[in-house]
Amino acid sequence: MKTRKLEDIIEMCHVRPGKKFRLKDHDPGWEGDQSIPEERRRQFAEALLSENVTELSEAQELLYAADTWSLLVVFQAMDAAGKDSTIKHVLTGINPQGCHVTSFKQPSVEELDHNFLWRCSKALPERGKIGIFNRSHYEETLVVRVHPEYLKSQQLPDLQASDAKVKKSFWKQRFDDINGFESHLHRNGTAIVKFFLNVSKEEQGKRFLERINERDKLWKFSLGDLQERARWDDYMEAYEETIEATSTEYAPWYVIPADNKWVTRAIVSRVIVKTIKSLNMQWPRVPDSDRLALEKAREQLLAELTNSRKGSRTPKPDAT
């Protein structure tokens, strides 16, 4: 029953490839079955998170040992939706050597001198490892879509980016490029899962206020965040189109309710565990040819240990 319900929740967040996608069908404030007291729902979500964290740590070991797949986890969201804290909570317990987080900010001059996928390609996880993208190549059809004037600094040959209106076909090409890129990655052993942390405008406003009011949180707030908030509807439109065009079998999007952090963390961690499990990896098996050598090594070690134990039990000669 529990598993069935979890599957339903995951399915509620999953954006089906090739289907019309509307953000209004996804409630940022979703917090489970309201007939159950909130305290119990919270406890359930927290227990689930801790179960997932343990499973994730085991799954990561298998990913590393099998050495056939890597996992790329993409996080996109409006400011203050909780990307950082979700990453922190979900990855607790993971071996830091097997995981790498990359945060993508405004591109540098060097990055602008390359194609828009270049900097993301450089940060991809190697086989056996988990890579987390805190923002990603998707900024190119989100923030850049909302601010097409940014294209000017990309110096693209065939684009009059100074035009107030960049043609729709341009963005369609970017979606095609991204889908091609992700399909290539998947075919070559990088599993991909993408999360949009769906916070409401109201909750974002509350969190901004908290940041301004509390001295310890002020550093998280920048005045630029308010300018982007003013373009909320444009961002939502860009998210809607991007997610619809790029949720695929090989790199699905999940739209996660983000007004309640305990909900966000529990669902995200579950989806990551499910994604790794779906890869059906096997622990590496010892080839028959190595078995004999291993057996010999075992006997040799046992003999050495037995001898040294015997040695340490031999009484020391009397000093007097």
By CB under 5 A, tell whether 203 contacts Mg ion: no
Q: Which helix (H) or strand (E) holds 70?
A: strand 70-77
Q: Which residue has the CB atom at the shortest distance from Mg ion?
A: 79
Element (H, E) at 198: strand 190-198
Nearer to ligand ATP among residue 84 and residue 177 (C-beta): 84
CA end-to-end span of the chain: 76
Site for ligand ATP in 129-188 (CB under 6 A): 135, 139-140, 143-144, 150
Residue 151 exposure: Cα atoms within 13 Å on the Cβ side: 24
Helix residue spans in 150-221 (DSSP H): 168-187, 201-213
Q: In the complex, what is the shortest distance from the CB of residue 79 to Mg ion, in angstroms, rounded to a whole number? A: 4
Pick 79 or 203: Cβ nearer Mg ion: 79
User: Coil, helix or strand for 77?
Assistant: strand
Binding mask 27-46 for ligand ATP (x = CB under 6 A): --------------------
Closer to Mg ion at the Cβ: 81 or 256? 81
- Rounded to whole angstroms, the Cα distance separating 178 from 185 reads 11
Chain residues 83-122 in contact with ligand ATP, contact rule CB under 6 A = 84, 103-107
Residue 63: CB minimum distance to Mg ion, A? 30
CA distance 75 to 84: 9
Residues forming beta bridges with residue 99, ordered by sequence position? 130
Q: Does 139 bind Mg ion (CB under 5 A)?
A: no
Residue 259 binding target from Mg ion, ligand ATP, none, CB below 5 to 8 Å by type: none
Q: Binding string, 76-95, against Mg ion, x = CB under 5 A?
A: ---x----------------
